Amino acid sequence: MVAGFQHETNTFAATPAAYDSFVNGEGFPALRRGEALYELEKVNIAMGGFLIAMRAHDCDIVPVIWAAACPSGRVTRDAYERITGEILDAARAARPDAIYLDLHGAMAAEHHDDGEGELLTRLRAIVGSEVPIVVTLDLHANVTERMMSTVDAAVGLRTYPHVDMAETGGRAAALLLRLCSGERLHQQWRRIPFLIPVNSGCTEMGPARDVYRSLGPLGGDSTCLSFAAGFPATDFPECGPAVWGYGDDADAVRSALDTLYEDIVRREADWQVSSLPPAVAIAAASRMADGATRPVVIADTQDNPGAGGDARTTGMLRALVDARVSAALAAMWDPTAAAAAHGAGAGRTVSITLGGHPGILGAEPFEGTFVVEHLSDGRCRFEGPMMRGTEVDSGPSACLRIGEVRIGVTSRKVQLVDRSQLRMLGIHPEREQIIVVKSSVHFRADFAPGAEAVLVAAAPGPIPANPADLPWRRLPPGMRTSPLGPAMP
């Protein structure tokens, strides 16, 4: 039996994840049931990789459901119970010999802090202790005691941007086959004593690049190692990074895991985050773009929908307009502005209030008169390495221009990770001098190879680049809220 249920929950974010969010997918593949799960073989996600890997083996697969939604506030009770209910009902009916789940690992529902741990506990109660359960987890999973005690094996992603999702599904299939053949796998896991900023986990640079590249050689042929950098915006006692491993030799697993742990901890200072104020980032981008043939890309990291932001802050927009530069910014989530643009028509002007995030100084709504440059139905297909093949529906969308600044506006919240999203908005990325994206790291997979440079800006937003700036309440005593940062009392 196979199923998937994914959400990365920012408990500090205001907007919840309702059932309709999972139906649409919000940048992930839309919800699928039954045989439709096989369509995910065309998409670079763990479920697709698992299904492809299992095709080479003589087994009957019972596909149940796969659902994901854009990171946000807690998953509503309704959405959680409806989706987990389908998985649990299928387990009761199918009485499977083995189970694979494509999970995230940082889900919090309105009534459960540990969404995955709760699901796995209920599932184990149904199928008993003899049925192998293997799961894949995101690189940003907050691994919990309940997760580790209920699964027979868990496999984590090794890249951020997450370009190895299908590959990770294949590794999960290999572990499940070992378990089904009767092999016993020994588990070891340990927590890291400090939170790791989201941007610092990018595996295209150190220290994350070096640590993740070491997992394969360190584990060798028989030990499968994983390292989850954690999602540093879920306020509950088990938030944070962790390392774990499985293998047929308990001593070898323990030794490899100790080496991995010490390597991560000794680099603590290297995991600290750095970013630029908006005006500084734009000035630097302007200098770099002068005479260049490729755009400079700036991450508007503190309003990243991929970490629970709502893509509505206006700090970068104001800074671009004030600097009088030629640039594109995408994508802002504002259904009212998108509707106004569609009502006016392409080539017309609209005087509107755009975006705005309540309670954040410097993120107030932006008032102006914009030219409607392009209108779109919001549909596109990802062509870059990050979830290649995913079909996205951002709802009625538009490109608005004020001065020389173009703003992509969508009716649904979607992280900007793929250049096809800009083209859907009528923005040609290769023609732009400066591109500002509402993202932190995932955009790098498709944008960085064609960029003159990539900069990270910290405009006022709801997702602090430094997790120590969040109002933590429930982390355990001693956990440092950033690398070399303050510890919880």
Q: Show me where the domains of the chain are located.
A: 2-271, 278-465
Tell me what pLDDT residue 329 has. Answer: 98
Report the percent of the chain where pLDDT is more than 90: 99
The confidence score (pLDDT) of residue 221 equals 85
> Do 62 and 54 meet the contact criterion of CB atoms below 8 Å apart?
no
- Segment 276-286 shows an average pLDDT of 98
Q: What is the distance in angstroms between the CA of the first residue and the CA of the last residue of the chain? A: 44
The chain-wide mean pLDDT, for the chain, equals: 97
Residue 301 is given by DSSP the state: G
Q: Which residue has the tokens 């610092």?
A: 200
Give 125's pLDDT tier (boundaries 50, 70, 90). very high
**Residue 313, number of CB atoms within 10 A of its CB:** 27
Mind listing the pLDDT tens digit for each residue in 322-340? 999 999 999 999 999 999 9
Residue of 233, 131, 241 lying closest to 192 (CA atoms): 241
Q: Whole-prediction pTM value?
A: 0.96
Using alpha carbons, list the distances in angstroms from residue 158 to 139, 436, 446: 6, 26, 17
Q: Over range 381-406, report the average pLDDT.
A: 96
211 within 8 A of 201, measured Cβ to Cβ: no
pLDDT at 297 over 90: yes
Residues 387-413, mean pLDDT to the nearest whole number: 97
H or E element in which residue 219 lies: helix 215-219
Mean pLDDT for 1-10 is 98
Residues contacting residue 214 through CB under 8 Å, at least 6 positions apart: 260, 263
The distance of Cα 219 from the centroid of its chain, to the nearest Å, equals 26
pLDDT at residue number 393: 97
Under the banding of pLDDT at 50, 70 and 90, the label for residue 222 is confident
SS3 102: strand
Q: Which two tokens stand for residue 484?
A: 């070399």
- Residue-wise pLDDT for 450-460, tens only, equals 999 999 999 99
The residue-averaged pLDDT of 144-170 equals 98
Question: Average pLDDT in the 124-133 region?
Answer: 98
pLDDT digits (tens, 9 = 90+) for 347-370: 999 999 999 999 999 999 999 999
The mean pLDDT value for 436-451 works out to 97
The answer on pLDDT for 246 being more than 90 is: yes
Alpha-carbon separation of residue 443 from 386, 450, 451 (angstroms): 8, 11, 11
